[in-house]
Structure formats: structure tokens, C-alpha cells
With several copies, the nearest count.
Chain A
């Protein structure tokens, strides 16, 4: 299950989507809007994405997870639009025969998603200011990108 939605994420459905009798372990990661970053207070976040590319990049990450680890299923759902305090912006679920694979794969997938997938977050601070969050690193082509340049599958 891979999709991008403007609606609230049903995290139990994301977990359910990776269930398998072959799996002894499932790991669900949920990213939520945090109220404080240091001293600064957030009132809400707003996410924007380049949807066609985001879905393809997420699919590539899921494919990489499937090839790097012995896992059963992997699902990724990202919400866009306004995400209020405590609400979920992302849910990643992975199932595998043994737990180590699910933990590693889920953590890796979230790390990579934050580097490679064209989704952007706008902070709405409590002081009324807004700010697009643009980490210092520039998105870099991966070897996969270079191999499949102009591929776009």
C-alpha cells in the first residue's frame, strides 16, 4: 500500500495492510506534528508534494527495502495539506519473519524518504510566522536514479 492523501491517516489500516501469516513481526512508524522544536512552538504543519514523482520515489524505496531485507510487506502513506498538532503526517509499516528486519527496514525507509522524496513541510509557528523547511542538504541523485535516467517507471 503506497499512497498520498489529504485525509487523516488510518494508522491501523496501514498496519493491517502488512499483516501476513509468514510474518512474526510488524513495525509501524508514525510521524506526527510536534508542538515544540526547542523553544519554538508549532501550531500546525502544511505539506506539499510533487505527487507523481513522490509516489514513484516511494515505490523505489519500497523496492529497495524488499531487495535489501527479507521482508514480507511494506506500506507507506503520506498525508499532505494541513496536519494539526498530534495528527499523523506519515505512516510506514513493515512486516517480516523476524523483528530485526522490520525495525531496520522501517528506520531506513523513513531516513531515505526524508532525503529522496519530493515532499515539503511548511511550519506555522505560534508567533504567526510561516517557514518552508528546507534542510541544508540538496537532494542528490542516487545510483538508482542514474541507472534509470529518463526511465520513469
Chain B
């Protein structure tokens, strides 16, 4: 399936884009999706190790299943406030 992943902060700057598209296996787990992003964008690989993923604006676990049409984002360690 085709997914789109929002990127923010350092991830956005390292990839030079606010959103990337990726072709992934149906029912892919978050941890495998992260690995696939790392492979496609090596400049982000170190940051991805320290980043979370959100699905539909909630934090997911490594074992969460990514579904088609999910709103997906890579969430580097946050620093608001």
C-alpha cells in the first residue's frame, strides 16, 4: 500500500520535505515502517532511532499496525514549552 508520512523539525530539515511517500507491505508494523524510512532516507536514520510514530494523531508502539489512509507522522523527541 502507498502511505504518506509527515515530517517535522530536524526530520523535515534532514529530508528537506514536510512529507514523504512510501510503498509498504499491507499491514506493516510501525517498527518495519521506521526501518524502511531509514533505508530510503539514510540522513534521517539516526534521528528515526530516537523518534516515535503517530497514527491518526496518537502515539503508536513499534508493534502497531499501519493501515491504509492512516494519518502518519514521524515524531522526533519533542521540546515544546
Show the binding face of A for B, using Cβ within 8 Å.
31, 47-50, 52-54, 56-57, 78, 89-90, 110, 113-122, 132-142, 145-146, 148-152
Residues of A within 8 A of B54 (CB): 50, 53, 118
CA–CA, A115 to B59, complex, Å? Answer: 12
Contact A90 B50, beta carbon cutoff 8 Å: no
7 extra interface residue pairs, beta carbon distance < 8 Å, beyond A118-B54, A140-B52, A149-B58: A52-B71, A110-B81, A118-B8, A139-B52, A141-B52, A141-B61, A152-B71
Q: Taking A56-B57, A146-B61, A150-B55 as contacts, is the C-beta distance between A122 and B9 under 8 angstroms? A: yes
Residues of B within 8 A of A121 (CB): 79-81
Cβ of B37 under 8 Å from chain A: no
Cβ of B33 under 8 Å from chain A: no
Please tell me which one of the listed residues B8, B56, B61, B81 contacts residue A150 in the complex, with CB atoms under 8 A apart. B56
Contact B56 A134, beta carbon cutoff 8 Å: no
Please tell me which one of the listed residues A54, A116, A132, A149 contacts residue B9 in the complex, with CB atoms under 8 A apart. A132
Contact A134 B80, beta carbon cutoff 8 Å: no
**B37 smallest CB distance to A (angstroms):** 15
Residues of B within 8 A of A141 (CB): 52, 58-61
CA–CA, A50 to B51, complex, Å? Answer: 14
Residues of B within 8 A of A50 (CB): 6, 8, 54, 57, 73, 75
Proximity bits, B15-51, A CB within 8 Å = 1, else 0: 0000000000000000000000000000000010011
Please tell me which one of the listed residues A31, A120, A152 contacts residue B56 in the complex, with CB atoms under 8 A apart. A152
Residues of B within 8 A of A136 (CB): 50, 77
Show the binding face of B for A, using Cβ within 8 Å.
6, 8-10, 12-13, 47, 50-52, 54-61, 64, 67, 70-71, 73, 75-81
Contact A120 B81, beta carbon cutoff 8 Å: no
Q: Taking A48-B8, A120-B76, A140-B52 as contacts, is the C-beta distance between A113 and B59 under 8 angstroms? A: no
Contact A149 B73, beta carbon cutoff 8 Å: no
CA–CA, A118 to B58, complex, Å? Answer: 10
Residues of B within 8 A of A146 (CB): 61
